[in-house]
Chains A and B, each alone.
Chain A
Amino acid sequence: MSSFIKQIYNEHIKIYVRKPTWVMYFILLALVIGIAAVTQTTDLTNNHENWEQALEEENQQSQEVIQNLREADFNNELSIQMNEQAIERNNYRLENEIPPNEYGAWSFVEDNVFLLSLVSLFTIIVAAGIIANEFKWGTIKLLLIRPLTRTKILITKYISVLLFALWTLVFVWVTSLIVGMAFFGFEGFTATTVVNRPDGVQEVTLFSEVMKTYGFRLINLVMMATFAFMISAVFRQSSLAIGLAIFLMFTGNTIVEFFADRDWAKYILFANTDLQQFSTGNIMFEGMTLGFSITMLMVYFVLFLTLAWTFFTKRDVAGE
């Protein structure tokens, strides 16, 4: 076990000693501070004295939007559903006299969830390079003539990629929270908000909602990292792995939409990567369940890792 941990440590050093990795973290930090600064200049007050009236107005607007969407001849089910959910949330607040939340650190962390696309991008870059770079540098030869089997080296590399994704996600979460506290104040761990659930509107703590949002995004992160890692192991080329993974990351939802009318569309990886759809009730295809999506994710996951393992352990390491 100890040689295992030592090797994960080795891989961590090789990731974090390099300047490109520092640049990634610097970009994330700069973005978090920049977004906070810009957000502060906008009007954040939620008009507390007349909040009931404001919510009523919001509901009317949503109704109009729904009306317009219904009249349009293309399929808008998802947008209509989202507007309906907004109305449900507002009604819940009105009925139970819960005024809208003040903007604070938690809201800021929740808003910054979009930065996880950037974390995905960085994880893809690291995953794509972790094997391909050893071939590029020529160090693969010295790496593989050690008393560690190729399987063990592959596993330690894969775990290091997952840990990089996790550390970077935690970095975004923590810096957003600290910067958010400094700019907007802290709501505390017990502050609540109103969210939609399949069985109606509920009041939950902000903290648990933020954790949930980040947690669900981690799944997408892991799948993209695993895909890039597989390409890196199979083709031993980081540019190909980065290119393919980023392409799929950005076109994933488009691909699903394009094939949406086919029976097999729900078997596409990207139809299943967003598990939050089962929590909010905005499910992409009828008949999909949480169990189905988890099974599909496992199938893809095992497929990617089997391919990576087969190519990495069976193939010759020949000259240039």
Chain B
Amino acid sequence: MPNVAMELNNVHKKIGKHEIIKGVDFSVHSGEVFGLIGPNGAGKTTTIRMMVGLLSITEGQVKILGKSIQSEYRDAISEVGAIIENPEMYPFMSGYKNLKHYARMHPGVTDERIQEVIQLVGLEKRINEKVKRYSLGMRQRLGIAQALLHKPSVLILDEPTNGLDPAGISEIRQYIRRLAEDENIAVIISSHLLSEIELMCDRVGIIQHGKMVNFESIGKSDDQDEDVIKLQLDVTPKDKAQEILKDQLQIDSSIQKGFLSCQIEKDHVPSIVKVLVEHEVDVYQVVSMKGTLEDKFFELTGENVIE
């Protein structure tokens, strides 16, 4: 059993009479990348702020390596590195001075460690420039550097790829994976970029209306769903092909965006192709569509109505 790094137990948050978070439970293990997704206003940021002690917790518990953020604040927070919303730094100081500033707030962060994290995020060349001249991507990197200074066991990143270019995104993604796998850090990521979460995370929690609606394991889910797949066919003529499938194989299909689409069992693919070829339908492309996290997400959350 891997070590539980972060644990939320029936967490509630009430502001006035309004209950924003209505009982969130999840736990994240060391070495795991966990994604927290949900529509805007679902309670992602509120949950994250409670996890790091910025918001008080109305009911329930948050534990970091078994230590409660409420009653053992200092021990618990020592194990956490985080970026909350935007990576805001002191704009009038250089990147290096910002890191020094935060390093002074943790015991035992050496100058060598500061150099190490600067190299990790690739900011060596611009580290002595003032932060106000940084692009959003550079601020994001500096934010990650700041979160890693004290070698935390839990890393919380709110929208970590926000403002990064595609090369930067891919770099950060690989870097996050490496942190989890090599350094055994538990990484918690919140994002609205579902494809991004899908590429980075081992497990995803979907939050809606202040409640955890589902957990998804990424990677495993593909195997389970392989019996029924969504097939897209690029064929001419399409009407004829549609009729043939109906008559010969009793498969209902529809024409969408210039493709013929149908839901079938995977075993049927060869026979479909065979039948179409036999009836002199030209087949250009046969694509099996994977069920994406996005599909799952919309299936679960439906329309985004903020309560």
- CB neighbours of B244 from chain A (8 A): none
Residues of B within 8 A of A317 (CB): 49, 54-55
Q: Which listed residue, A9, A137, A138, A316, touches B104 by the CB 8 Å rule?
A: A9
- Is there contact, CB below 8 Å, between B104 and A319? no
List of A residues within 8 angstroms of B115 by Cβ:
none
Interface residues of B in 83-115 (CB under 8 A from A): 83-86, 88-93, 97, 101-102, 104-107
CB-defined contacts of A7 to chain B, threshold 8 Å: 104-105
Q: Are A137 and B97 interface neighbours, CB within 8 A?
A: no
**In whole angstroms, how far apart are the Cα atoms of A6 and B109 in the complex?**
13
Smallest CB–CB gap between B157 and chain A, Å? 13
Contact A137-B90, Cβ < 8 Å, known A10-B101, A10-B104 = yes
Determine whether the beta carbon of A146 is less than 8 Å from that of B101: no
- Among A19, A147, A316, the residue within 8 A (CB) of B54 is A316
Given contacts A317-B49, A317-B54, A319-B45, contact A145 B101 (CB under 8 A): no
A147 touches B105 (CB 8 A): yes
Tell me, in angstroms, the Cα distance from A148 to B101 when the chains sit together.
13
Task: Give a binary string over A138-179; 1 marks a CB under 8 Å from any B CB, 0 the rest.
Answer: 110111111111000000000000000000000000000000
Whether B82 contacts A138 by the Cβ 8 Å rule is no
Residue A3 lies at the interface, judged by CB distance under 8 Å to chain B: yes
Given contacts A10-B104, A318-B55, contact A145 B74 (CB under 8 A): no
> Smallest CB–CB gap between B245 and chain A, Å?
52
Q: Is the CB of B54 within 8 A of A141?
A: yes
Cα–Cα, bound, A6→B101 (Å) = 9
Q: Name the distance in Å between B227's Cβ and chain A's nearest Cβ.
A: 44
Considering the complex of A and B, which 3 residue pairs feature the smallest CB-CB distances, nearest first? Answer: A138-B88, A146-B105, A317-B54
- Could you tell me if A145 and B54 are in contact, using CB atoms closer than 8 angstroms? yes
6 A–B pairs (Cβ distance < 8 Å), ordered by A = A137-B91, A141-B85, A145-B84, A317-B55, A318-B49, A319-B49
Q: Does B258 belong to the interface (CB within 8 Å)?
A: no
In the complex, A262 has a CB within 8 A of chain B: no
Complex Cα distance A7/B106, Å?
A: 10
Q: Is the CB of B105 within 8 A of A10?
A: yes
For B75, list chain A residues within 8 Å (CB).
147
Nearest CB of chain B from residue A146's CB, rounded to whole Å: 4
Knowing A145-B52, A146-B77, A147-B77, the reply to whether A18 touches B88 (Cβ < 8 A) is: no
Residues of A within 8 A of B88 (CB): 137-139, 141-142
A residues in contact with B107, CB < 8 Å: 3, 147
Nearest CB of A to B1, in Å: 28
Chain A hits for B105, CB < 8 A: 3, 6-7, 10, 143, 146-148
Mask for B103-135, Cβ within 8 A of A = 1, else 0?
Answer: 011110000000000000000000000000000
Interface size grouping (class) on chain A: 20 to 34
Contact A17 B55 (CB under 8 A): no
The contact of A149 among B45, B73, B104, by CB within 8 Å, is B73
B78 on the A face (CB < 8 A): yes
Closest chain B CB from A18 CB (angstroms): 5
In Å, the complex CA distance between A147 and B152 comes to 12
Question: For the complex, is B146 an interface residue (Cβ under 8 Å from A)?
Answer: yes
With the chains together, A3 CA to B49 CA distance in Å? Answer: 24
Alpha-carbon distance A18/B82, docked complex (angstroms): 26
Q: B residues bordering A, Cβ < 8 Å?
A: 15, 45, 49, 52-56, 73-75, 77-78, 80, 82-86, 88-93, 97, 101-102, 104-107, 146
A142 touches B54 (CB 8 A): no
Q: Does A23 count as interface, using CB distance less than 8 angstroms?
A: no
* In the complex, residue of chain B having the shortest beta-carbon distance to the beta carbon of A14: B90
Pick from B54, B89, B104: contact of A139, CB below 8 A: B89
Q: Is A1 on the interface with B (CB-CB < 8 A)?
A: no
Please give, as numbers and ranges, the residues of chain B lying within 8 Å of A6 by CB-CB distance: 104-105
Contact of B78 among A138, A143, A147, A149 (CB under 8 A): A147
Say whether A13 faces chain B, with CB atoms less than 8 Å apart.
Answer: yes
Chain B neighbourhood of A139, CB < 8 A:
88-90
- A170–chain B nearest beta-carbon distance, Å: 25
Instruction: Decide: A145 near B80, CB < 8 A? Known: A316-B54, A317-B54.
Output: yes
Q: Which of A14, A138, A145 contacts B77 (CB 8 A)?
A: A145
Inter-chain contact A147/B74, CB cutoff 8 Å: yes
Q: How far is the CA of A260 from the CA of B275 in the complex (A)?
A: 105
Q: Contact check, A17 vs B93: say whether CB atoms are below 8 A apart.
A: yes
Q: For B80, what are the chain A residues with a Cβ–Cβ distance below 8 Å?
A: 145
Q: Give which listed residue, B53, B85, B90, B91, contacts A144 with CB less than 8 A.
A: B53
Chain A residues within 8 Å of B102, by CB: 142, 146
Contact flag A147-B106 (CB < 8 Å), given A10-B101, A13-B97, A141-B84: yes
- Give per-residue flags for A232-252: 1 if the beta carbon is below 8 A from chain B beta carbons, else 0: 000000000000000000000
Q: A14-B101, A139-B88 are in contact. List 20 more A-B contacts (CB 8 A).
A: A7-B104, A138-B86, A138-B88, A139-B89, A139-B90, A141-B88, A142-B146, A143-B105, A144-B53, A145-B53, A145-B54, A145-B82, A147-B75, A147-B77, A148-B74, A148-B105, A149-B73, A149-B74, A316-B56, A317-B55
